Every structure is written in C-alpha cells, then in structure tokens.
Structure 1
Amino acid sequence: MIKNAILTIEGQEPFEMPVLSGSLGPDVIDIHKLYAGTNMFMFDPGFTSTASCESKITFIDGEKGQLYYRGYPIEQLAEYSDYLETCYLLIYGELPDAVEKQKFELGVLRHNMVHEQLTWFFRGFRRDAHPMSMMVGVVGALAAFYQDSLDINNPDHRRIAEYRMIAKMPTLAAMCYRYSKGLPFNYPRNSLSYTGNFMHMMFAKPTEDYVVNPVLERALDRIFILHADHEQNASTSTVRLAGSSGANPFACIAAGIACLWGPAHGGANEAVLKMLDEIGDVSRVEEFMQGVKEKRYRLMGFGHRVYKNMDPRAKIMKQTCDEVLNELGLQDSPKFKLAMALEKIALEDPYFVERKLYPNVDFYSGIVLSALGIPVAMFTVLFALARTVGWVSHWHEMIADPNQKIGRPRQLYTGSGRRDYLSVDKR
C-alpha cells in the first residue's frame, strides 16, 4: 500500500510527499522534492528528526533498547562472536563461514605493519600531545604512503583501503601511547589475535616476554565489538559527508576521528573517570547525587541521547567489568566501590529511575579500560580503533550507492539583508 503525507501551507496547494517504510523502525517522509514544490526547506537543527541516508548496516530502537548489527542483536555478538568476525559482518552483511573467516583474518593481519617512514611523523609531536591529535595526523597521512588504494571508484581499491585501516589502527594507536611514554614501538605479531596483538603492542617490554591474559583479552575484544558501530552518529555522519565529496578514504576516517575527539561524542567514558576522581570517596556519593538533583553537578555515564530505556550494551559491559575486576583482584578498589555506589543510587532512587538515567556503556567501559592499565587520554583512541570498521562500512555503502550525492545541508538565514559597501571614511 502506497502512503503519502500531505503538507498544508497557508496560501499554497496541499503538497504530497511519499512515506517510505524500512525493514525495521519508524516510517520516513521523503522530502527531497519539498523545496522544488513549495520553495521551503525543513528546519531540523542536529538532524534529530531527519533520516540522512538509507542504510542496511545497523539498527537502533532507543525506546526498546535494541541494537542490531546487520540484524544480529548486539548481545549475541558480544557473547559468541569476536571483533574481526564482527568486522566481516559489518562490511559484507553476513557472518562468514570457517573458510571466509580465516581468509578475512589473514587478509587483515597482512596489513598491520605501517610504512617505516610513517614512524618518523611521531618525532614531530610533543611528548605531551593528546593521543587523538596524533591519530588525526597520522591516519590522514596514510594517503601519502598508500597511493595504490585511493581510487574510490575501484571496488578493489576500496576493499584494500578498508582492510588497511582496520589492520593499521591498532598499530597506530599503540604507537601514540608508546610515544607519549617515551617507549620504543613494538612491531605487530601475527601469531596473536587482533586484540591480543594490540595488547602486546601497547604493553610488551623489549626485555621481557609478554603473555596475553585471555580474560583481559576477551574483555577488550568485547569492548571493540560494542563500539564497532552505532548507526548515523556524529562521527559516522562526518565520514559520510566527507566521503560524499569524493575525498580519499584515509582523509574521511581522519575526519571521523576529529569528530569523535569532541567531548560530547567520544569523550564520555573519559568524563566518567574524571567524575569519579572529582567525587574522590564513597562517603561523598550521596552528597554528589543530591547535587545532581539540584543541578549543581553533572552525572556522567548515565542516560543516553538515543536510548530512552536501558542501553543494551551496558548490561554486557557490567558483566565484563565484574570479570576484569575479579581477574585482577580489584573488587575492593576504592574507585570500583565508588562506581558501584553511584550505580546503586541511580537504579533505586525514584528521581533517576523516573528519568531513565540508567548506567550506559561508557560508565562501565571507563572502569574496565582503567583497570586494564589504559590511560584516560587513550580512551577515545580505543573508541576510534573500534569504530573504524563502522566508519569504513558506511563509507563503502555510500560510495557504492549509484544515487549518492554530495552532502549539502541548507540553513535558516537570520543575518543582515542586502547592504551597500561604504568606504572606510563613511563608516
């Protein structure tokens, strides 16, 4: 059944617009002919009610607390899958069989080295530079070293570029960390898993053997899965907008990293740790939460702009958090006790329950990353590492769409009307 929406504007004929239905989620009104038919634009700051594209990759129902990658619930992927298999799913749309999985893993691993001259870039950064500033620079610079995969109209070039970015992101992230600490870079080891190799490049000492703890490896791999994609968020939309101009894939991902760096987007778990440090002690929790009610303090890591119910990733991260703290013997650490006291009040106090301010994925992931020994400044870098596959999947989907056009939002202009220029002596 064909449905239409009718827009009634005073002084004009009613204007009909098609109503489109997706496989899941609410219907959308197709307004792309609105300006031609009415001489008007839609006004939607922040795109809160605008579907900017059609996509088959990720579905979110914020009211029901659902997150699906290619139709698979995030809970199932986090429990049964691993990060590279999830990468395959996001890129190709289906889970791989055993042969496809092995081929994909080998294809990614063979690209995890970076050009040796790229390591010289780090010498130009200050040692106290924020790791995200280094990531923006070195990821964008990949286009200067891998010029054999820049033709976005060539499907083979696109695939090679996607594999390279997924493979090299852990290497570059670890290099940012090691450089800031004055430590020598560690080369990748293909005998390790994707996540185990990242841990090796981060923490191994040249003078000692490094053994990957499987509990911690699984926890970090799960964090990567949970952050792999999240539909049309700010950074993904940035990648799509940059890509719509025909920019090379490395530049597009660098743009996504720059957007993710913003504290309103990628800095949420970092903000959780800063909040815990500011509270300081479990004895101050009740006073702090009362201050939240009185708008004197901000509660970080609770509630979500999209999820109006429980964040489906939070339950998984809560379990992961317990596993990591038990493995490391940190159950009684002051910071963990402080976090659990906050969680208890938020889940029981009517003020927070009525406003659905449940703990979100950032609340627990910040605690886990801190327990793993990852500095707060590196949190957003790990977010970028995990989200790279989501970015390249959306970029590929957009470039492969024959109907895609360069992004060009419009505006409601409220500035001065036409004015004539006056020479400086008459102003």
Structure 2
Amino acid sequence: MTRAGPEYRWLLPSAVVAPELPGDRSDRGRPRRTVRDWAVDTCAFLCAVLIGMLTADAMSQAADYPEALKAADQLVGVLACCTVWVRRRWPVQLASVLVVVTVFAPVTSGALLVALFSLAVHRPLKPAVAVVGAVAVVSSVLQPVVRPDPHASLLANAVTGTVLVLLVMGWGMLVRARRQLVVALRERAVRAEEEAALRAENAQRLAREAIAREMHDVLAHRLTLLSVHAGALEFRPDAPPAEVARAAGVIRDSAHEALQDLRQIIGVLRSPDEGAEDRPQPTLATLDALVAESREAGMKVTLDSAVGDPGTVPVATGRNAYRIAQEALTNARKHAPGAEVTVTVTGSPGEGLAVEVRNPAPVGEVPRVPGSGQGLIGLTERATLAGGRLAHGPTPGGGFEVRAWLPWPS
C-alpha cells in the first residue's frame, strides 16, 4: 500500500484545520532542496534581478541622481536579490526587512515581490503575515514619496505598487490553497486505501470465523459419535458381537455423514455455483431426525416441543436452534454418556423461540474425550449474531444445561 511521505503527514482534527505544508515547518529537520526547488529559486532570483535592473535603469535617468546613491542602490539591490535564496527558511523575517528597505531603495522591489509571494505560499494567513502584507501596501504608497519615479506621477506609482503587492500576495495564497487541496486529497486517498484494507481484512476475518463455526457445528456431532463408539470398542473388547456390529455400523454411518458434510462445506468454499446440488440446510423441522439419530447411537433423548408447526419458524431461526441442540447433544454424549438428555423447544411468533437442553450428572466414570471447548463459545456467538442470547452452566444436581433464546418475528 502506498503511503504519504513525511511532507504529507499532518493531522486533520476538523474541517477547519488546514494541513501543514513542507515550508510550514521550522528549520530543524528541514528537507534537502530538490531539483525543482533549485529551479524555482533560480527563476525567482532572476525575476528579482530583472525587476531590480529595470528599476535601477529608470532611476538612473533622473537628473538629480548622484553617483554615490547609484552605487549604494546597486549594492543594496544585489544583496536583496541574494536574500531570495533564503526565502524558504525565513520568509517572515526576510519580507519584514525588505518592506522597510524598499521604501528607501526601489531597486529591491523585485526581491520584495518574490519575498511576499514566498511568504503567502509558505506561511498560513496569521496576524504576523497580515501585518507584513499591510505594511507592504503602506510601503508601496510611501516609496514614490521618498524616491519619486521621474517617468510617472506619484499617484500612478502608488496605485501600481499597491496593485502589485496585492496581486503577488493573492497569487501566493492561491498557490498555498491549491497545495493544501492536493495534500488533503492525497491524505484522503491514503486513508481511503487503509480503510478499504481494514474493511477487507475484517470481512475475511468474519468469513473465516463463520466457516470455522459452521465446520465445528457440522463435524463435531459426527466425529463425537466416532470417538465415543470407537472408545467403547477399545474399552470393551469382549462385548457381544451384536453390540460390536451395532457400534461399527454407527461408526460407518457417522463417517459417511461427516464426509458428506465436509464435501458440502468445501463445495461452498470453492464456488457458489456448486451449492445447487448440496443437501438442504437443517431447520427446526429436522430436529426430530437429529433426536432419532442420537437415539440410534445409544443416547437417551427426550424431545418436548411446544411449537405447533415447525415449518412456520423462520429458516435462519430454525437452523440456529438446530445447531444449538446438536452441539448440546454432542457435549452431553461426550461428558455424560448414558445420562438421559431432555430437549425442550417452546415459543411463538412475537415471543421468540426458546431451546433448552438439560442432562443430569453422569453415572460412573466418564471416559475422557478430547475437546477444544470452542463449541459453546461458537454457540454464544451464533445466538448473539442472530439477535438472541445463550447461557450455559452446571445444575445444582451436578448436571449441565444449555438455554438459548432466539428472536421470532410476528
């Protein structure tokens, strides 16, 4: 990503604060002159010299122009033109000095105009700058009085000097405003790129979290069946053949279903067009099939549903309720094997949909089943994103319960 250089790093706390331009800084840390700076300074020096020479030539035609004054004017004019090279470092001081000198030495008029232009470009319009500009206007009126021009009247010289000072100051402020606009646009472009990158990064993070949550909810149920029944076969190698065959069948079916679910998720990740042949997403109407599957796997599950027609529940709400019940049954199978689990679903349009999964304390020693503990965190995030809430924790008798509420618009 492109970033603005040091000369464009300025703060913009409000719309009325102007950005800092390169010439606004103090001498410390001042950047080195570029080729463009040398070219501009050279042109400014030549303009000051040209105006000074024309003024000196006009003044030399006066009859009462002594040689000593002529030499003094030439010396002062040369020094004034040389000061143009330091106009970037001390614009206020240089303009202040030249404003006074020009009243007595008109040959410094060119250097004064360059200094006023540089002052308007490199310094914001503050009281100091405004005072220098006002003094320059007064100086342009006093100069023809102190050193009259033999070729023009006093009024013409005063009006011409005033107009030149105002034009130069106005031109400088226009250049400064344009530079500020360019800096603001560059900073805004950089900020827009950074915000776009942050939005893209945030969208990718949310997408990864959603994919991880969905994969956990889909595959944890199947893989837990595999782990529980494989562990039962490991700890009971002398089990009856019928029980071994039943456990092997559950393992086979769970592995097949897990592969199907994994293909479904991978298909969605590859291309949206591949989702046409995917199996339908679970809803509240398929909760009976989930309970039946858990019973076939050996769990004792009681379903108490007070929802009249599950088909009237919104699809998203029903899918979230299904995932909550699925994860709660998975946890009960892992941490309370053999305990009877009760799944209660109540609700109506306008009141919301409540899902409660409760199991008593397990009997006997519970085999350790590895887990990351991210399932309940994912359920809490799922319920929160849907506009609902979820709570879970142990019961007084040593069991465990999961309670969730999801919005159901009327």
TM norm. shorter chain > 0.5: no
Pair member with larger Rg: 2
Q: Name the one with the larger helix percent.
A: 2
TM-score normalized by the length of structure 2: 0.21
TM-score normalized by the length of structure 1: 0.21
Select the structure with the greater relative contact order (CA < 8 A; seq sep ≥ 6).
1
